[in-house]
Amino acid sequence: MTFNPISARLSLFYAAYFAVVGIMLPYWPAWLESRGLSPVAIGTVLAVGFWVKLAAHPVLATVADATGALKRTTVLLALAGCAVYGAFWFAEPFWSYLVLAVLLGFTVQSIMPLGEALALSEVKLRGLAYGPIRIWGSVSFIVAAFAVGAATERFGDPVILPLLLGTMVVLVASCLWLPAHGGQARKPWSWTAAARLVSNRRYLVFIGAAGCAQASHAVFYGFGTISWRAVGFGESAIGVLWSLGVVAEIVVFALAARLGRFASAPALLAIAGIGALIRWPLTAVTHDLYAVGALQLLHGLTFGAAHLGAMRYLQDNAPEGLEATAQAFYYALVSGVVMGMAMPAAGFFYESYGQLAYLAMGVLGMIGLGLSLLLAGLMKNPHQM
């Protein structure tokens, strides 16, 4: 295998970004809990960031598509994100956490759709393989989750924030090293074309299918670490559990090229729905460490297959010159609207029912499966995007 400098630069970006995610997903709720926030308050703070994406992602992406400034925008957002995380040191009243969560939605959480659009543009332009590039994000997630789990076991939850800040500095450097070519718009950007994109029936069904697949992780993302602590799992074991899920994700990404030969975007989303139907109801009633570890391997389906299906759909169907816009609306609607509704509901269900809250996530998997089958039917019609 020959070394490709563009692949290396994109891989570093994914590695840096998902190192941040590898700290945020498992341990940010625990850090918020250490500051005295209740499950409902934690769910609300997490949800605010998701809802902000509904406005932030499209606005930032339309500017980037119109100006061709994808790289410059990601750098500025990463720098601003460092400042926002630093401000969390001084958060005390509940409203201050909400304000900072809004700023996270505009900064750190808005980096990925722009970086993903740039990466997919380079992949398409240069004939690169997406899976082997994206896989490094999953590898870094594992390393970060495991390392921070060990650090919290030794030093406690307060160590989470300084580790996040240090990782954000690496993310800034990786954004500076991104290639610039992918951000050049090849056709004039227009509001009419963007409106036509997001009002298309097939695109909306795609958003529904992908959204249900991702939202089925709401209880897991918000309260996975907290619930595992409640049943007596140690910090190192929790780090391993998070890592197991991403190992399965890595395997799926490594097989992405082969999967692409026989699995369409709707098929991959359907696989994710089936995985959610199996994973979450069993997680709701399982307290054995080894059984939970086995269920974590289904993350390769519930997240890995869903992400590959979404990226394949966008790569094949995003109009030229609207790549970042298509990505941004996907992230805004899925990570904003759908997750924005799912996360506070997850907080309510977890506070009321504990681990049984995962049962509701299985229902989302069933809905997502139905929508993916509907999408498959719509994609047979060449007159619909």
pLDDT in tens, 268-294: 999 999 999 999 999 999 999 999 999
What is the rounded CA–CA span in Å between residue 113 and residue 337?
A: 15
DSSP-derived secondary structure letter, 90: G
Contact between residue 330 and residue 312 where contact means Cβ atoms under 8 Å apart: no
pLDDT band at 127 (very low <50, low <70, confident <90, very high): confident
The model's pLDDT over 55-69, given as tens digits with 9 standing for 90+, comes to: 787 777 766 666 667
Mean pLDDT for 146-158 is 89
How high is the mean pLDDT of the chain?
Answer: 86
Q: Is the pLDDT of residue 177 over 50?
A: yes
Residue 146 pLDDT > 90, yes or no?
no
Over residues 191-198, mean pLDDT = 70
Whether the pLDDT of residue 100 is over 90: the answer is yes
Q: Whole-angstrom Cα distance, residue 378 to residue 190?
A: 26
pLDDT of residue 1: 46
CA nearest to 172, candidates 245, 75, 241, 103? 75
Q: pTM of the full predicted structure?
A: 0.74
What confidence tens digit (pLDDT) does each residue in 345-373 have? 998 999 999 999 999 999 999 999 999 99
Residue with tokens 């089925």: 216
189 pLDDT higher than 70? no
Domain 5-379: top CATH class: mainly alpha
Q: Which residue has the higher pLDDT, 355 or 317?
A: 355
Q: What letter represents residue 183's amino acid? A: G
Please name the helix (run of DSSP H) or strand (run of DSSP E) that holds residue 132, with its range, or none: helix 130-155
Q: Would you say residue 295 has pLDDT above 60?
A: yes
Identify the CA nearest to 286 among candidates 233, 210, 342, 215: 233
Task: With cut-offs at 50, 70 and 90, classify the pLDDT of residue 153.
Answer: confident
* CA–CA dist 191, 197 (Å, integer): 10
Higher pLDDT, 246 or 77: 77
HSE-CB at 149 with a 13 A cutoff on CA atoms is 24
Q: Which residues of 260-287 are buried (b: 16+ CB within 10 A; e: fewer)?
A: beebbbbbbbbbbbbbbbebbbbbbebe
pLDDT score, position 327: 74
Measured from the Cβ of residue 50, the count of other Cβ atoms closer than 10 Å reads 26
21: nearest Cα among 230, 155, 170, 232? 170
**Nearest CA to 49 among 32, 71, 35, 69?**
32
Task: Quickly state the pLDDT bin for 183 (edges 50, 70, 90).
Answer: very low
Encoded tokens for 50: 């998701």
pLDDT computed for residue 291 by the predictor: 97
Q: Which of 156-165, 191-200, 265-274 has the least mean pLDDT?
A: 191-200
> Over the stretch 205-221, which tens digit does the pLDDT of each residue have?
999 999 999 999 999 99
Q: Which two structure tokens, joined as six digits, stand for 354?
A: 């504990």
pLDDT digits (tens, 9 = 90+) for 5-21: 889 999 999 999 999 99
The rounded distance, in Å, linking the Cα atoms of 35 and 31 is: 7
User: What radius of gyration do the chain's Cα atoms show?
Assistant: 19
pLDDT above 90 covers what percent of the chain? Answer: 51
Query: How much is the pLDDT for 169?
Result: 96
- Show the tokens assigned to 4: 């490709």
User: Minimal CA–CA distance to 293: which of 251, 249, 237, 341?
Assistant: 237
Query: Residue 81's pLDDT band (boundaries 50, 70, 90)?
Result: very high
Q: Is pLDDT at 116 greater than 80 in this prediction?
A: yes
CA dist., res. 145 & res. 26, Å (int): 7
At 202, list the tokens: 């097939």
- Taking a C-beta distance cutoff of 8 angstroms, is the pair 88, 358 a contact? no
Alpha-carbon span 310 to 263, nearest angstrom = 12
Phi, psi of 168 (to 5 degrees): -65, -35
- DSSP E strands, 44-189: none
Higher per-residue pLDDT: 155 or 63: 155
Q: Which of 333, 317, 330 is nearest to 382 (CA)?
A: 317
Q: How many CB atoms lie within 10 A of CB 90?
A: 8
Average confidence (pLDDT) over 149-175 = 94
Are the CB atoms for 27 and 152 separated by under 8 Å?
Answer: yes
